[in-house]
């Protein structure tokens, strides 16, 4: 679902409402692990390459992860977000809140 590898969080499951609660918890757990070691170059990558499907809940989960990371002194950068995630962010007017790498 989500893993921490080489200072990057890699999401491997669809980011849809059915997975939102589990993704949120898994991401927060990974961020707790990541906060114990300094991330490379001051930021942790959130790699979305393997995400096959997103809905609006993906934005909520990502924004919650961003708040969690900030509270732990980490900076997240989104890598390879699906185009439909970018479209949803634009539709909801939150594009500027997504820190793209």
pLDDT in tens, 8-27: 899 999 999 999 999 999 99
pLDDT at residue 35, rounded to an integer: 67
Instruction: Please give the torsion angle defined by the CA atoms of residues 16, 17, 22 and 23, in that order, rounded to the nearest 10 degrees.
Output: 40
Query: Could you list the mean pLDDT of each consecutive 10-residue stretch along the chain, which spans 101 residues?
Result: 88 97 95 67 85 96 96 93 97 96 81
The mean of the pLDDT values for the chain is 91
Domain spans, the chain = 2-97
pLDDT at residue 38, rounded to an integer: 54
Cα 46 from chain centroid (whole Å): 5
The arrangement of secondary structure in 2-97, i.e. its CATH architecture, is 2-Layer Sandwich (3.30)
């Amino acid at each position: 679902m989500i893993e921490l590898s080489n200072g990057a969080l890699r999401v491997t499951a669809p980011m849809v409402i059915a997975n939102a609660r589990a993704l949120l918890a898994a991401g927060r757990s990974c961020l707790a692990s990541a906060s114990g070691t300094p991330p490379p170059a001051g930021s942790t990558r959130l790699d979305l390459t393997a995400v096959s499907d997103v809905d609006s809940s993906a934005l909520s989960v990502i924004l919650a992860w961003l708040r969690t990371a900030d509270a732990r002194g980490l900076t997240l950068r989104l890598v390879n977000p699906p185009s439909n995630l970018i479209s949803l962010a634009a539709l909801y007017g939150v594009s500027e809140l997504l820190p793209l790498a």
